Amino acid sequence: MHSLAVHYLIIKAIAKSISEMAKKPFTLQYPEEREMVADNYRGVHKLDIETCIGCGACARICPNQTITMLEPAAKGGKKLPSINLERCLFCGLCEEVCPTKCLVLTKSYDFERMDKREFVMLPSDLK
């Protein structure tokens, strides 16, 4: 009787394997196919340079000192935020404190970089 139970378990395992092989794979063909993100997902930052007043509130509120205000290239220009995504907690405090709502967190999760220096996003990169 013991041998019959072993044979039953083997046949059951083979049947389960065959049924699993018939299912469609869960693999997404990234980057063509993307995983759906939740409504409250916080991804890469986006900055509207035109409406940014350069107040620096985002840099002051950041708990990880991820945001730094860059000096303007032209005289009389405004300071604009630069964000180091490598250190960012994606907490959303910078988005909440922005008086003009020019800095927002998008649903984008593109974090593929070849060099860690590419994680520092200049204001022109935050579009």
More confident of the two residues 68 and 29: 68
Domains in the chain, please, with CATH? 45-125 (3.30.70.3270)
Percent of the chain with pLDDT over 70: 97
Instruction: Using the CB atoms, write b or e for 21-58: b if 16+ within 10 Å.
Output: eeeeeeeeeeeeeeeeeeeeebebbebeeeebebbebb
- Per-residue pLDDT band for 127 (boundaries 50, 70, 90) equals confident
For the stretch 60-110, pLDDT in tens is 999 999 999 998 877 667 899 999 999 999 999 999 999 999 999 999 887
What mean pLDDT comes out for the span 13-19? 92
pTM of the model: 0.71
Give yes or no for residue 1 having a pLDDT over 90: no
**Mean per-residue pLDDT of the chain:** 88
More confident of the two residues 34 and 107: 107
